[in-house]
A and B are shown apart, each in its own frame.
Chain A
Amino acid sequence: MSDACYVGIDLGSTTTKAVVLDDECRVLGRGITNSRSNYDLACEIAQTEAFVDAQMSRLRQSFESDDVLASHAKVLGASVGRSFRYRQHTRQLDTLERECLRLAHGNADLEAAIERMMVAMREDAERLFSGLAAPSESEFFRDIAGSLFQRLAEQESSPKTLPYESIVGVFDRAILVVENEPDDLSFEGNAKAALTRSLERYAKADDQVRDAAIRQIDDLLNRPFQTACSVGTGYGRARLPFPKAQIRSEILCHGLGAHIMYPGTRTVLDIGGQDTKGIQVDEHGIVTSFQMNDRCAAGCGRYLGYIADEMNLGVHELGPLAQKAKKKVKISSTCTVFAGAELRERLSLGEKREDILAGLHRAIILRAMSILARSGGVEEEFTFTGGVARNQAAVKALRDLIHENYGDRTINISPASIYMGALGAAHFAKREAEEILAASSAATEESAEVRA
């Protein structure tokens, strides 16, 4: 098996995604991180995550095909995965604690509170990666640590001596350091330690199992992936240190990604944080036409963010609440500037939050429908991607409107659709590598001919 791989990176405005493919264009691994002010780092972390994902699946496979480990593979494989995540998490906790204490320095109450909170956070980390905890809503350290930190801060705070804001303020500054300080979160750097942790906790781990597992890890560590080619895309693609031939537009990558995931796709809708795109592709995944929202970001993911802020809710809470709507409320403005005012007016008129929210979701999708119409309509099959595709209320509004306007259409939505751009980019990387190879072998042949 060749270890050559192809990487696609999608540097989005909210999240950065990476996908790693093997020679046969199978997905080896996927990684995601929140895009921070430091795009280079976001890009590096997403790639690292994708490689960790890839190596972990290779590890599970090698466990399964190992005579000694086969019967342990399932449990042990999953355990190593969790230990690995635990290790990554606690490394970041270390940095967080160091920074928080540094910032709190001189304020004894605050320092003591933070020390107590950190103990609790470490305990919680054990629970989080024990395999017993419910999956958290976000997989990002910032979100997991942040929400716990806030809860703990509420307990620790007292209005006079230690206000809540001053504790949380420390986190807000410290997390920037955590996210922007290079730290080794790679498979290579952490795999062995993760395995050791898992073996310690695995009752059935005798010497034979231990040796076999270590052998497999060593074997993997000895054959790292060789990136044959990378292609970048996304909102921040211009920031990637790639030559021009290795940069592709989001349009092209989403078109191809959708085609790879659902080969019957002819129309793609992507609603991201900053923009909305309607894309038409042919039977080869080649883009034939596209349209994006105009210069105003009305009706994009960002709009939902404003609404959530306005309602004092998390963005992920909007969809579920909107689905409880009983009544149709027409919202006319998808303008982020006016949305808040309209919302408040509706509320003051006695409309229910859920009904208004359902109206807002429909309004966003109406904008998207217009962009789709601009790009050439909705053809069979239709694939919906982007962050907003994870919002069930938006999906429902879309299904309704597609049905009302275009009749029956197959609508493809996948939880993995957030990786669609990166997937397309990875396929472009594969094609790019093939072309380079073909060109060089042609050159070799040519020179051979000349010699002959």
Chain B
Amino acid sequence: MTEKKKDEKEIPKEPSMIRQKELISGYYDELATAKEDGKKVVYTFVPGNLAELLAAFDVLPVLPEINALQSGMRKRSRDYIATAEKSGHSEDVCTYVKCDLGMMEQGIGPTGKPIPEPDMLLLSYTGCFTFMKWFELLKERFPKAEVAMLHVPYQGDGEITKEMRDYTVKQLETEIVPKLEKLTGKKLDRDRLKELLVRSAEAEEDLVWTWEAAKHRPSPIDGYFGGVFYIGPIFTAFRGTQEGVDYYRLLRQEVQARIDAHEGPITPRGQLNDQKFRIVVEGPPNWTSFRDFWSMFADEGAVCVASTYTRVGGLYDQGFRHDPDDIMGTMADYCLGCYTNLNLPQRTKLIAKYCEEYEADGFIAHSVKSCNSFSAGQLLMLREVEKMTGVPGGFIESDLVDPRYFSAANIKNRLESYFQMLAQRKTGGGAKSMEAVL
């Protein structure tokens, strides 16, 4: 164990990862002093978040899911979840919610610094019913906070209709903007919002380029485990900011350098140049054993070339860009188009498309106990993707931030079996060729 730890320390971090970490910790620092600095704080969710609008009002967003996942990565979530369960929450329900409520009860954020109380709960209700219950529970805790609901209709029939878009735009105009104006005491500066949206689109361009770099062999990025670092800034507080633009420029240069050098991404097991399997992943990662989980892929020479989780904050690679010329419409389109707001046939088609475009050898569904929005129906999607593409599917289960649901031996066993099956299918079962791929 101690040896392994030493190894981990020696693995170099990519400059973009270091920059990403700085951005995130700077953000938490800013939160810690928000009240002293006289800033208004708005809690909101990642999918369909209105980062530019909040920035235009100079309010600080707090993203409870990010707090929960950060708590998971920093091994604090077990304690938080226990706190929430002690106060009456069922073992059955979403552990993001419990982690967040437990954290609130203990009064400190994932970095050990306080998280400011909300002045407003902006419920961007996109692709997850549990969000609604989550904010109702927060409202009980913070009764003085104003609640603003942005109900984003679901793409039940696999399309965004005019009615859905109109409804969303109307809510922005009649509910969200007025409440933010009331909260901050100032009118929305539409020109400023426009500028922010211009910067969003610029960063989005570089992010898509980065995602699609995984089409190279070897893939210069890991589009799932590495991907969650890449999406961090744009999914949270940094969309529309210059820091966001600069981060994605830096990332792009870094990835380009690896393409030129025929190098793979840096993983917890070092640089993965010898890539035996190209995998598409569906579902969010586990955060409590993130590095171990990633290592289980890296150990087998598996690189994730695309993932759906990295699309929860926007399907930019399917053409969406924030459009500064239609500020309300573009925010509505953004919310309506998030991955979790797609219906199952759309999700299935998208995964099949990724399998083909990224020339995947396999497709793995990581099913998390906490997230029914992702998980309900995944087993059917798995079969459908196999039917559509012939790419064999694998299935593993754990949870987002509840370490009780991450059984390392179990997951490792399934992954090993799965990768061996892929190897056997590639080679027809001969031992030598197995050796070559193993």
| Inter-subunit contact B407/A252 (CB<8 Å) | no
Q: A223 on the interface (CB 8 Å rule)?
A: no
Q: Which of B392, B417, B435 contacts A435 (CB 8 A)?
A: B435
| Inter-subunit contact B432/A435 (CB<8 Å) | yes
B residues in contact with A287, CB < 8 Å: 421, 424-425
Among A232-251, those with CB < 8 Å from B are 235, 238, 244-245, 248-251
User: A371 CB to closest chain B CB, in angstroms?
Assistant: 11
Among B379-438, those with CB < 8 Å from A are 379, 383, 386, 392-393, 395, 397-398, 405, 407, 410, 412-414, 416-418, 420-421, 424-425, 428-435, 438
User: B369 CB to closest chain A CB, in angstroms?
Assistant: 9
Q: A381 on the interface (CB 8 Å rule)?
A: no
| Inter-subunit contact B421/A290 (CB<8 Å) | yes
Q: Which of B416, B428, B433 contacts A249 (CB 8 A)?
A: B416
Complex: A292 Cα to B418 Cα, angstroms: 11
A residues in contact with B395, CB < 8 Å: 291, 374
| Inter-subunit contact B420/A288 (CB<8 Å) | no
What total count of A-B pairs have CB within 8 Å? 71
**Contact (A245, B420) CB under 8 Å given A431-B430, A435-B430:** no
Complex: A252 Cα to B424 Cα, angstroms: 8
**Contact (A286, B424) CB under 8 Å given A294-B397, A435-B431, A439-B432:** yes
B residues in contact with A289, CB < 8 Å: 386, 392-393, 421
Complex: A391 Cα to B431 Cα, angstroms: 35
| Inter-subunit contact B407/A295 (CB<8 Å) | yes
Q: Which of A245, A285, A291, A295 contacts B434 (CB 8 A)?
A: A245
Complex: A376 Cα to B418 Cα, angstroms: 15
Among A412-452, those with CB < 8 Å from B are 428, 431-436, 438-439
| Inter-subunit contact A431/B397 (CB<8 Å) | no
| Inter-subunit contact B431/A245 (CB<8 Å) | yes
Count class of interface residues, chain A: 20 to 34
A residues in contact with B414, CB < 8 Å: 292
| Inter-subunit contact B417/A245 (CB<8 Å) | no
| Inter-subunit contact B397/A295 (CB<8 Å) | yes
| Inter-subunit contact A251/B429 (CB<8 Å) | no
B residues in contact with A248, CB < 8 Å: 420
| Inter-subunit contact B431/A434 (CB<8 Å) | yes
Residue of A nearest to B414 (CB): A292
Complex: A256 Cα to B424 Cα, angstroms: 11
A residues in contact with B428, CB < 8 Å: 284, 286
User: How many B residues have CB within 8 A of the partner chain?
Assistant: 30
Complex: A433 Cα to B412 Cα, angstroms: 27
User: B370 CB to closest chain A CB, in angstroms?
Assistant: 14
| Inter-subunit contact A249/B397 (CB<8 Å) | no
| Inter-subunit contact B432/A288 (CB<8 Å) | no
User: A344 CB to closest chain B CB, in angstroms?
Assistant: 23
Complex: A435 Cα to B428 Cα, angstroms: 13
Complex: A249 Cα to B413 Cα, angstroms: 8
Complex: A432 Cα to B429 Cα, angstroms: 10
| Inter-subunit contact A252/B379 (CB<8 Å) | no
Complex: A235 Cα to B397 Cα, angstroms: 18
Complex: A439 Cα to B414 Cα, angstroms: 30
Complex: A285 Cα to B407 Cα, angstroms: 30
User: A20 CB to closest chain B CB, in angstroms?
Assistant: 18
Residue of A nearest to B406 (CB): A295
**Contact (A252, B421) CB under 8 Å given A244-B438, A289-B392, A292-B414:** yes
Residue of B nearest to A291 (CB): B395
Complex: A434 Cα to B386 Cα, angstroms: 33
A residues in contact with B424, CB < 8 Å: 252, 286-287
Q: Which of A249, A295, A428, A433 contacts B417 (CB 8 A)?
A: A249
B residues in contact with A435, CB < 8 Å: 430-433, 435
| Inter-subunit contact B417/A250 (CB<8 Å) | yes
Most A-side CB within 10 Å, residue of B393, B397, B424:
B424
Residue of A nearest to B429 (CB): A286
| Inter-subunit contact A286/B425 (CB<8 Å) | yes
B residues in contact with A238, CB < 8 Å: 412
Q: Mark A135-174, 1 if CB is under 8 A from B, else 0.
A: 0000000000000000000000000000000000000000
| Inter-subunit contact A245/B429 (CB<8 Å) | no
Complex: A294 Cα to B413 Cα, angstroms: 12
A residues in contact with B392, CB < 8 Å: 288-289
**Contact (A374, B379) CB under 8 Å given A249-B413, A251-B417, A251-B421:** yes
| Inter-subunit contact B431/A290 (CB<8 Å) | no
B residues in contact with A245, CB < 8 Å: 431, 434-435, 438
Residue of B nearest to A235 (CB): B413
A residues in contact with B386, CB < 8 Å: 289
**Contact (A295, B405) CB under 8 Å given A252-B421, A286-B428, A289-B386:** yes
Complex: A428 Cα to B427 Cα, angstroms: 14
User: A433 CB to closest chain B CB, in angstroms?
Assistant: 8
| Inter-subunit contact B431/A432 (CB<8 Å) | yes
B residues in contact with A235, CB < 8 Å: 413
Complex: A75 Cα to B103 Cα, angstroms: 76
Q: Which of B412, B421, B431, B438 contacts A431 (CB 8 A)?
A: B431
Residue of A nearest to B394 (CB): A290
A residues in contact with B383, CB < 8 Å: 376
Complex: A439 Cα to B421 Cα, angstroms: 23
Residue of A nearest to B424 (CB): A286
A residues in contact with B431, CB < 8 Å: 245, 428, 431-436
User: B384 CB to closest chain A CB, in angstroms?
Assistant: 13
A residues in contact with B421, CB < 8 Å: 249, 251-252, 287-290
Q: Mark B43-66, 1 if CB is under 8 A from A, else 0.
A: 000000000000000000000000
Complex: A433 Cα to B430 Cα, angstroms: 11
A residues in contact with B418, CB < 8 Å: 290
A residues in contact with B407, CB < 8 Å: 295
User: A337 CB to closest chain B CB, in angstroms?
Assistant: 12
Complex: A294 Cα to B428 Cα, angstroms: 28
A residues in contact with B412, CB < 8 Å: 238
Residue of B nearest to A429 (CB): B431
Residue of B nearest to A236 (CB): B409
User: B252 CB to closest chain A CB, in angstroms?
Assistant: 36
Complex: A270 Cα to B388 Cα, angstroms: 28
B residues in contact with A249, CB < 8 Å: 413, 416-417, 420-421
Residue of B nearest to A285 (CB): B429
Complex: A290 Cα to B430 Cα, angstroms: 20
Complex: A192 Cα to B40 Cα, angstroms: 89
Complex: A436 Cα to B418 Cα, angstroms: 24
Complex: A337 Cα to B434 Cα, angstroms: 41
Complex: A288 Cα to B393 Cα, angstroms: 10
User: B206 CB to closest chain A CB, in angstroms?
Assistant: 39
User: A245 CB to closest chain B CB, in angstroms?
Assistant: 5
Q: Mark A201-217, 1 if CB is under 8 A from B, else 0.
A: 00000000000000000
User: A408 CB to closest chain B CB, in angstroms?
Assistant: 24
User: A359 CB to closest chain B CB, in angstroms?
Assistant: 26
A residues in contact with B393, CB < 8 Å: 289
Complex: A192 Cα to B417 Cα, angstroms: 44
A residues in contact with B432, CB < 8 Å: 435-436, 438-439
Among B166-186, those with CB < 8 Å from A are none
Q: List 17 A-B contacts (CB under 8 A).
A: A244-B438, A245-B438, A249-B416, A249-B420, A251-B420, A252-B424, A288-B392, A288-B421, A288-B425, A289-B386, A294-B397, A295-B410, A374-B379, A374-B395, A435-B431, A435-B432, A435-B433
4 other contacts beyond A249-B416, A284-B428, with CB at 8 A cut-off?
A: A252-B420, A284-B429, A290-B421, A435-B432
- Ranked nearest first, the 4 interchain pairs of A and B with the lowest CB-CB distance are A435-B432, A249-B417, A432-B431, A431-B431
